Amino acid sequence: MSGDLLVARDIEVVFGGRGHWLGRTREPVKALHGVTVRIGRGETVGIVGESGSGKTTLGRALLRLIDVAGGSIAFAGRDITQLSEAEMRPLRRRMQLIFQDPMASLNPRRVIRRIVAEPMLFHGVAKDEADAEAKARAIFARFSLPLACLDRYPHELSGGQRQRVGIARVALLAPDFVLADEIVSGLDVSTQAQALNLLKDLSRDLGLSMAFISHDLSVIRAVCDRVYVLRSGRVVEEGACEDIFAAPKHEYTRALMDAIPLPRIDRDWLRRTAADVAA
Amino acid sequence: MSDAALAIADLNAVSDRDGEAILRGVSLTVERGETRGLVGESGAGKSTIGKAILGILPRAVRVTSGEVLFEGQDLLKAPAALRRRLIGERIALIPQDPMTALNPGRRIEGQLTDGLRLWRDLSAGAAREAALKLLDEVQIRDPERVLRSFPHELSGGMRQRVLIAAAFALEPKLIVADEPTTALDVTVQKQILRLIRAMQSAHGTSVLFVTHDLGVVAQICDRVTLLFGGRVVEEGRTADLLQAPRHPYTRALLEACPRYDQPCAGLRPIPEQIIATLRAEIAA
């Protein structure tokens, strides 16, 4: 499978279980029960599920931000499952994360200029401050962000602008893989459409591979090529978006789809239960 | 007209901080027994209207003119005692976030029976009986246990059910539902929407349903008012607004919604032109 950039096989993640320092022990909780995901080069893969499905845990495991109890993760043909923090560091630039809430992920006490320039300088993507500034200006123009934003603090920007800054900061590092975790769930539909289109253009132009985590199948359909449906730490269905949305096989996928209220008149929707959908 | 459960007429509000208008001549009615949707993107003023009805506007927001008619009284001008009775007893709120709306330090029983004891003068035992009945009505399987629980011991969906029970406890005439399902998973959201609908039909309550989600509006609202920049852009029967939107903004907003039932042909953000025209109209 030379086409795959990231391959995670039989991933298991367990939380807790080790002795507490006060002597109490907690029952270990298995968050992922052997999940396998492949993300091809240039491909955008959706990971969908409700709270507790393990979608965020899976994302974190893919980036090696948490340790896995079982399974393996390969990035660009190299097994990274057991790499130490120091060994991971050179790979960090190539594997990036866009956060759900830019208000929480952008340092509130720093101006936007520093927020976008610092990672470039740290990873050596920009030679010096002037180079970082030029790169930041170029991407701001492309993202329709006013240059004046560079001198502002995160709280002075609108929600849509903050999310675009979050995307710009990651795009500037020219990563190979980006994990986007619920990045549009707090946005209005109009700003949501803007951010999603931006992300789509970016992945096309940079040949980016992307894992797009969301609870919303409508958003997944708008940006993803393939989708994994997660429930209680297991993949219940996977496939190309066209196929899954045309004919979902698993009853959970069907229930998840039917539960989304669409802006169309459907007199039966409110009465229809998951059992009806399964039948 | 006089039959409306709630009639808001020409409501204007400004921000005291910068003098900017927040509501610009908003008029809307909630007819008896109907669910009226109040929809718009952030900054449209939908929550401000809900707060103005309940008299819980932030200090920086000032209503400059207009009236909020409820049971023949203008809530904005009614004497404090009367307002307290009308809003406390006859109008209820289903809030957005079931975690912050419940007091984390009190058991559900106390929080659910406060209103009953205050307004109905019920004894602790009678209020408890009433609370058990309410929990049963919102399909909570183990009401005894829930009454003894603290909010953090319940799931998000359970907490929202408790808040719905609390909202219906005093048989209010009007319920303001402020984004009541936004914080929930979609499958839970559907159960909660179904429950609100069922409770409303059974009790004949009128509901003002504040939301940003046109999908939710489509499934639960009889009529809808769409706001932009503190002004009513379009209103009418939900089916008409969705199937034959008259205003270009309504059309653009519907087209910007991602939909799993439509192939991914690229999303259409709302054209700048439409927003600019709307802003100019508002400024004029």
Tokens found for residue B261:
């039932």
Out of B218, B262, B263, the one facing A265 most closely (by C-beta) is B218
- List chain A residues with CB under 8 Å of B214: 189, 263
Q: What pLDDT was estimated at residue B88?
A: 87
Q: What pLDDT was estimated at residue B3?
A: 77
Minimal C-alpha gap between A80 and chain B (Å): 33
Q: What pLDDT was estimated at residue B1?
A: 47
The whole model's pTM is what? Answer: 0.90
Given a cut of 60, is residue A187 above it in pLDDT?
A: yes
Q: For domain B4-244, say whether CATH 3.40.50.2300 is its number.
A: no
Which of B264, B273, B278 is the best substitution to test chain A (most A C-beta atoms within 10 A)? B264
CA B24 to CA B232: how far, in whole Å?
A: 8
Residues 6+ apart with CB under 8 A from A130: none
Given a cut of 70, is residue A21 above it in pLDDT?
A: no
Contact status, residue B38 vs residue B29, Cβ threshold 8 Å: no
Tokens found for residue A7:
């391959």
- Cβ contact B190–A262 (<8 Å): no
Among residues of chain A, what percentage have pLDDT more than 70? 95
Nearest CA to B216 out of B179, B256, B175, B264 is that of B179
Report the chain A residue with the minimal C-alpha distance to residue B211: A188
pLDDT band at A122 (very low <50, low <70, confident <90, very high): very high
- Cβ contact B186–A216 (<8 Å): yes
pLDDT band at A231 (very low <50, low <70, confident <90, very high): very high
First to last CA, chain B: 30
Q: What pLDDT was estimated at residue A167?
A: 93
Q: Hunting for tokens 């439409």 — which residue is that?
A: B274
- Cβ contact B260–A260 (<8 Å): yes
Report the chain A residue with the minimal C-alpha distance to residue B252: A190
pLDDT digits (tens, 9 = 90+) for B71-92: 989 999 999 999 989 998 999 9
Tokens found for residue B133:
């009945």
pLDDT band at A36 (very low <50, low <70, confident <90, very high): very high
Report the chain B residue with the minimal C-alpha distance to residue A50: B185
Out of A220, A222, A264, the one facing B218 most closely (by C-beta) is A264
- Cβ contact B267–A196 (<8 Å): yes
pLDDT band at A112 (very low <50, low <70, confident <90, very high): very high
Given a cut of 80, is residue A22 above it in pLDDT?
A: no
Q: What is the mean pLDDT of residues A78-96?
A: 94
Contact status, residue B169 vs residue B115, Cβ threshold 8 Å: yes
Q: What is the mean pLDDT of residues B29-40?
A: 96
CA A51 to CA B106: how far, in whole Å?
A: 26
**Which segments of chain B belong to CATH 3.40.50.300?**
4-244
Tokens found for residue B36:
């009226």
- Cβ contact B257–A189 (<8 Å): yes
Which of B35, B184, B186, B187 is the best substitution to test chain A (most A C-beta atoms within 10 A)? B186
Residues of chain B whose beta carbon is less than 8 angstroms from a beta carbon of chain A are: 41-42, 156, 185-190, 193-194, 197, 212-220, 238-239, 242-243, 252-254, 256-264, 266-270
Contact status, residue A48 vs residue B187, Cβ threshold 8 Å: no
pLDDT digits (tens, 9 = 90+) for B188-198: 999 999 999 99
Given a cut of 80, is residue A18 above it in pLDDT?
A: no
Q: What pLDDT was estimated at residue A1?
A: 44
- What are the distances in angstroms from CA A55 to CA A182, A215, A232, A243, B57? 10, 9, 9, 21, 38
Other Cβ atoms less than 10 A from the Cβ of A163: the count is 28
- List chain A residues with CB under 8 Å of B215: 260-263
Nearest CA to A170 out of A133, A120, A205 is that of A120
pLDDT band at B182 (very low <50, low <70, confident <90, very high): confident
- Cβ contact A266–B239 (<8 Å): no
Q: What is the mean pLDDT of residues A176-202?
A: 88
Q: What pLDDT was estimated at residue B2?
A: 53
Contact status, residue A159 vs residue A191, Cβ threshold 8 Å: yes
Q: What is the mean pLDDT of residues A87-101?
A: 91
- Cβ contact B254–A223 (<8 Å): no
Q: What pLDDT was estimated at residue A185?
A: 82
ipTM of the modeled complex: 0.87
Residues 6+ apart with CB under 8 A from A258: A269, A272, A274, A277
- List chain B residues with CB under 8 Å of A220: 260
The structural domains of chain A, ordered by start, are 4-94+175-278 (3.40.50.300), 108-170 (no CATH)
Contact status, residue A136 vs residue A117, Cβ threshold 8 Å: yes
Question: Number of Cβ pairs closer than 8 Å across A and B?
Answer: 116
Q: What is the mean pLDDT of residues A140-163?
A: 92
